[in-house]
Amino acid sequence: MSKHQPTTQSAIILALFALSILINGCGKSSAKERQPGKTEEVGIIVIETKPQLLTANLPGRTNAHMIAEIRPQVGGIIQKREFIEGAYVKSGNVLYQIDPAPYRAVYASAEAAVEKAEANLASLKLKAQRYAELVKINAVSKQDDDDIQAALRQAQAELSLSKAALDAARINLNYTRILSPISGRVATSTVTPGALVTANQETALTTVQQLDPIYVDVMQSSNELLRLKRELARGTLKHSGADEARIRIVLEDGSAYAHEGKLKFSGVSVNATSGAVTLRAIVPNPEGLLMPGMYVHALLDEAVDERAILVPQQSVSRNSRGEPTVLLVGEGDKVEIRQISVDRAVGAHWLVTGGLSVGEKVIVDGVQKIKVGDVVKAVLVQQIQPIANESSESEEHTGHYQPVSVNTAANVVGR
């Protein structure tokens, strides 16, 4: 036992020595990392105001501009279908042909009745002229003359009645050719040649929808609409300048639709279930890309905030109560935290409605390296603006920043 004791003691001494070296090294490393005397450099922007177009992103669905349900106005057997299902038809194109034979017979009979009435009228006119001369010399009685005049008027009425029947027969004969009342896309047919149809039947033969232009119906919260109207009335916001608000469409796959539309109609009542108001826009659809029933997003230009304050979304965080906050460089270059109010996203920014003033310095870069109360070195940064219009909420922006000269003066406009 005594022989191995020095070896054990030596091992313990070596282990303690190695541990002391490790602890000493870690302490130096930690001290080196913390560097309590170092002033961290952070990127800041200086708050300023500028006019900003406010855009609402509203869900909506497309609806046909015009819809015509095709029903027969006379009954009969369908002889032919004159269209290809799904094809484009023009107003006045023949869609169906009903067997015209019975209606041609009725028309011919009405024509004959007119000719008979005309012949009868001509005969009575000559007879009335003769009686008018004979009554002057008392060759016929006054009663006979009165009777012939009455018969003449009756013949004139019968001719008018026959002509009306002829017009009705002509109309019914024309109705055997079922025409498209509008231009548009024709749907599938519910009947085939040989089917018996009746006048004004409940089931439509087919449907024609006019899709260029096309309607986009969107829903806006009544609360948001009231707020917008109040701010416009107070002058906080201004109208965007156009008589008809522009509207841009984002498709279901997230792509932007090529054609802009115009807002045409705002609902006069609020939906009791959803608490929303329907807004209707009309949008060009020359390529036929939009189809009725499609779900879309509508970007609607609402108004212009002449004194808008925007801060990058990456500079805004939330506290434990979910309230938005930002870090600022305050007096003595110390980091301060400030609760703010935001209204909506504008591209890669938040629109700030309270909590910030012109000239204040908001930290946008390096926030992970600092805490409230730290003394920092502020470096003015400048956002790299994307090529696309930042007001479009449908587009994604990276929001990257790059430093500029530390001494660069910001163009500050008083709020």
> So what's the pLDDT on residue 410?
32
Q: Which residue has the higher pLDDT, 408 or 110?
A: 110
Asked if residue 364 lies in contact with residue 381, where contact means CB atoms within 8 angstroms, the answer is: yes
- What pLDDT score was predicted for residue 238? 53
Question: Which residue, among 280, 86, 282, has the nearest Cα to 184 in the 3D structure?
Answer: 86
State the chain's mean pLDDT as an integer. Answer: 81
Two tokens, residue 183: 């231009």
What percent of the chain lies above the pLDDT cut of 90?
A: 44
Contacts of 267 (CB under 8 A, 6+ apart): 277, 278, 279
| CA pair distance 196, 96, nearest whole angstrom | 12
CB contact set of 213 (below 8 Å; sequence gap of 6+): 65, 261, 282, 283, 284, 285
**pLDDT for residue 1 is more than 50:** no
- Say which residues have a Cβ less than 8 Å from residue 81's Cβ, sequence separation at least 6: 95, 96, 189, 191, 192, 193
Cβ contact 69:204 at 8 Å: yes
DSSP 14-51: HHHHHHHHHHHHHHHHHHHHH-TTPPEEEEEEE---EE
- Considering the four listed CATH numbers 2.60.15.10, 1.10.260.40, 1.10.510.10, 2.40.30.170, the one that applies to the domain covering 56-64+210-305 is 2.40.30.170
Ordered DSSP codes for 337-364:
EEE-EEEEEETTEEEEEES--TT-EEEE
Two domains, one topology: 40-52+306-403 and 70-208 = no
Question: Of residues 414 and 213, which shows the higher confidence score?
Answer: 213
Would the pLDDT of 246 be above 90?
no
Beta bridge partners of 236: none
- In tens, the pLDDT along 225-245 reads 676 666 656 555 455 555 567
On the question of pLDDT at 267 being above 80, the answer is: no
Residue pLDDT, tens place only, 326-353: 999 988 889 999 999 998 888 889 899 8
Per-residue pLDDT, 302: 72
Angle at CA of residue 371, ends 366 and 372, nearest 5°: 120
Distance CA 339, CA 40 (A): 23
CATH topology of domain 40-52+306-403: 2.40.420
Q: Give the phi and the psi of residue 286 in degrees, each rounded to 5.
A: -65, -30
Angle, in degrees to the nearest 10, between helices 142-175 and 101-136: 160
Kindly tell me the number of DSSP H helices and DSSP E strands found in the chain: 4, 21
State the average pLDDT over residues 33-41: 65
Contact criterion met (CB below 8 Å) for 209 and 187: yes
Find out whether 135 and 142 touch, Cβ atoms under 8 Å. Answer: yes
Q: Per the omega criterion (within 30 degrees of 0), is the bond before 386 cis?
A: no
Q: Would the pLDDT of 312 be above 70?
A: yes
Most confident of 141-150, 177-186, 355-364, 405-414: 177-186
Confidence tier at 14 by pLDDT (50, 70, 90)? low
Alpha-carbon distance of 125 to 151, in angstroms, equals 9
What secondary structure, in 3-state letters, does 193-242 show? CCCEECCCCCCCCEEEEEEEEEEEEEEEEHHHHHHHHHHHHHCCCECCCC
User: Which region among 75-79, 143-147, 198-202, 240-244 has the lowest average model confidence (pLDDT)?
Assistant: 240-244
| Residue 203 exposure: Cα atoms within 13 Å on the Cβ side | 9
Architecture field, domain 70-208 = Beta Barrel (2.40)
pLDDT on residue 401: 43
Q: Where are the domains of the chain?
A: 40-52+306-403, 56-64+210-305, 70-208
Residues 272-290: pLDDT tens digits?
Answer: 677 778 888 899 999 989 9
271 — pLDDT class (breaks 50, 70, 90): low
